[in-house]
Amino acid sequence: MQSLGIILFKSVGAGYSALNMAGRSFGLEILEFAPLGESSQLLVLGEKKITNKFIKELRIESIERSLCLENFDEKILRSYLSLENTKLQEFTLIVEARFSGDLFAAAVELKKRGLSTIDFRVFRSVQSTGYLTMTGNDLDEAKTWIAEQRSQLSRQFRNITLISNLSEGFRHFVDFES
């Protein structure tokens, strides 16, 4: 079973070191390496056992955050890599976070609830932030997810915005498929 490893390092050098280790010692598929100001991010894909072992063998003091996701939908990854987009539906949900692993986890959970990914971006700048734009037809399901995040005092998300009753101007600007 494939799993996606997302690691945010405290420095660029630590990320490059892990990048070398991922390919040389573990044979993981390297999907992305990105310097993010003073930190860096590495995305790897591999067998669950190997991906977990790789993350565990990294120097813990050099890691800001890490996440190993199993059973993720390949469409989410394709959207992150700007290879695929979904047509805008009845509403738009925008989730913002500092760690892209939190956005991947949110995308997996929202996909299970019937939403689709429109856009998924991480800004490669001094502030490691990103956003995930989802769409769907079941507004109540999106509202339920938002309420769950707020009731759990979820600190991983900087902001969550739900936009319904989409105007034609909004649809024209946001819908990548039209």
Q: pLDDT per residue over 95-151, tens digit each? A: 998 888 999 999 999 999 999 888 888 777 666 678 888 999 999 999 999 998 887
Indicate whether 5 pLDDT > 80. yes
Average predicted confidence (pLDDT) for the chain? 87
- Overall fold of domain 2-70: Alpha-Beta Plaits (3.30.70)
Quote the CA–CA distance of 37 and 12 in Å, as a whole number: 8
Q: Delimit the CATH 3.30.70.1710 region(s) of the chain.
A: 2-70, 74-174
* Homologous superfamily, domain 74-174: BMC (bacterial microcompartment) domain (3.30.70.1710)
Residue 150 pairs with which residues in a beta bridge? Answer: none
Quote the CA–CA distance of 5 and 116 in Å, as a whole number: 21
| 7 CB-contact burial (10 Å; exposed 0-12 / middle 13-18 / buried 19+) | buried
